[in-house]
Amino acid sequence: MAASLRASSSSLRSRLLSSPASWSPWRLLLSSSVHSDAAHQTETLAFHEIQLSPEKPPTATAFVLHGLLGSGRNWRTFSRTLASQLRDRSPADEWKMVLVDLRNHGSSARIKGLSPPHDMSSAAKDLADLVKARGWTWPDVVVGHSMGGKVALDFAESCSRGDYGESAALPKQLWVLDSVPGEVQIDNSDGEVERVLQTLASLPSSLPSRKWVVDHMVSLGFSKSLSDWIGSNLKKDNEHVTWAFDLQAATDMFNSYRDRSYWGLLENPPKGLEISIVQAELSDRWHPEDVQRLEALSRRGSRPDAGKVSLHVLPNSGHWVHVDNPKGLLEIMAPNFLSTVQN
């Protein structure tokens, strides 16, 4: 099966590692009162901003990057709650959360000019182009789930090399959520995501309705929650619906995600950067040798001439961390999130 998927450039060549997190409906998420949740679009990427007190200038900015076939809105509730908890811990901090739709996903799928190659480096450069286009300060923190985690790593690596020009500033912290930093081994997956991709590729581009898609997926044996999430990625097109993402381009991005390795960055993080890895306890993405390697890097701690790597294990969670155990993820991230105020 894998060989046949690789045989054609239009075929789906491998497994998707990213977004049943969004497949399940939101549950267990803590409530938060947010006064700003505005959608924006530039010639580069679409995004949403979340800021608790938009009348105040933000003291820091965090970019939040979704996984494959997801969108920024998948992280909206979690990001609101995180911003609220960060304020509770440090009232002087005023965080702006920027929930980005990566290229070929969400509202960014409609933007012209995001040309190939559709890979991790291009997706990371899109972030730099967004910062420059909006005239923003560079993000203090970048949070990325699954494929978004590798985009975050690529962004930091490119910043450290000076690829984005002299104005670019290295993030102070990355949060890489259940994203294996090396090449992705897919032979231990159960094949469900591959079946999802094959099923989506087999459907016509114009579909009768969201309900029809959900019912069709359920009839093929997919769970109702997964099918509902698939249906949430449809948009209205006259009397029909069509996908909000570019399936083939997104598959190209996954192939890059699977093939790229960032172990070199983790073994030699640039000075001033903390890379926080969250491993989901029940995730099937991890090989023991990868975990052992991260544990060794985490034990090494801080060095005067280099950055730091830390490893956190999220209990009672599979790959879809912000849905499976959002409360536990918040308990890890909030106390360890970058503080911009010196006590």
Is the pLDDT reported for residue 38 higher than 80? no
The share of the chain scoring above pLDDT 70, in percent, equals 84
The CATH number of the domain holding residue 327 is 3.40.50.1820
User: Do residues 215 and 290 share a domain?
Assistant: no
Average pLDDT over residues 233-255: 88
Report CA Rg, the chain: 19
Neighbours of 255 (CB within 10 A): 16
Output the pLDDT for position 39: 53
Print the domain residue range for 145.
47-183+251-334
Strand partners, 67: none
Q: What is the mean pLDDT of the chain?
A: 85
Average pLDDT over residues 3-7: 39
User: Do residues 222 and 100 share a domain?
Assistant: no
pLDDT band at 192, cuts 50/70/90? low
Q: How many domains does the chain have?
A: 2
> What is the Cα–Cα distance from 76 to 57, expressed in whole angstroms?
21
User: Do residues 142 and 272 share a domain?
Assistant: yes
Token pair for 205: 């581009």
The share of the chain scoring above pLDDT 90, in percent, equals 61
Give a yes or no: residue 273 inside a domain: yes
Output the pLDDT for position 224: 84
User: Do residues 205 and 73 share a domain?
Assistant: no
User: Do residues 169 and 200 share a domain?
Assistant: no
User: Do residues 71 and 162 share a domain?
Assistant: yes
User: Do residues 80 and 145 share a domain?
Assistant: yes
Output the pLDDT for position 187: 62
Asked if 319 and 285 touch (Cβ cutoff 8 Å), the reply is yes
User: Do residues 82 and 227 share a domain?
Assistant: no
Average pLDDT over residues 205-220: 94
User: Do residues 159 and 257 share a domain?
Assistant: yes
pLDDT band at 16, cuts 50/70/90? very low
Output the pLDDT for position 108: 93
> What is the Cα–Cα distance from 73 to 342, expressed in whole angstroms?
32
Average pLDDT over residues 286-307: 91
Give a yes or no: residue 35 inside a domain: no
Give a yes or no: residue 26 inside a domain: no
Output the pLDDT for position 217: 93
Is the pLDDT reported for residue 19 higher than 50? no
Output the pLDDT for position 255: 87
User: Do residues 69 and 197 share a domain?
Assistant: no
CA 34 to chain centre: 22
Average pLDDT over residues 246-253: 88
